[in-house]
Structure 1
Amino acid sequence: MKKYYLIIALIFLVTGCTFQKPDYVKVVTPTELNRIMQQQDIFLVDVHTPKQRHIKGTDLFIPYDEVEKYKDLLPEDKNTAIYLYCEGGPMGNAAARSFYKLGYHDLTNLEGGANAWRKAGLDFE
Structure 2
Amino acid sequence: MKKEFLFFLLMILVQVTYGQVKNKSIIEFKEVASEGFVLIDVRTPEEYAQGFIGGAINMDMKNESFVSNIQQIDKNKKVYLYCKAGGRSAKASKVLDSLGYKNIINLEGGFDAWKEAGNVFVVQ
Which TM-score applies when normalising by structure 2?
A: 0.70
Question: What do you get for the CA RMSD once the two structures are aligned?
Answer: 1.9
- Contiguous gaps of at least 5 residues in structure 1: 1-21
Q: 1:35 to 1:54 in 2, by over 3 A?
A: same
**Number of the residue aligned with 1:113:** 110
Could you tell me how far apart the structure 2 residues matched to 1:56 and 1:71 are?
A: 19
Supply the AA of the counterpart residue of 1:40: S
**Number of the residue aligned with 2:59:** 62
Which TM-score applies when normalising by structure 1?
A: 0.70
Could you tell me how far apart the structure 1 residues matched to 2:60 and 2:26 are?
A: 21
| 2:26 paired residue among 18, 21, 30 | 30
Q: 1:29 to 1:72 in 2, by over 3 A?
A: closer
Determine which structure has the larger strand proportion and give its number: 2
Identity, % of aligned positions = 31
Supply the AA of the counterpart residue of 2:34: Q
1:69 deviates by 2.4
1:30 deviates by 2.7
- Contiguous gaps of at least 5 residues in structure 2: 1-17
Supply the AA of the counterpart residue of 1:85: Y
Could you tell me how far apart the structure 2 residues matched to 1:23 and 1:71 are?
A: 18
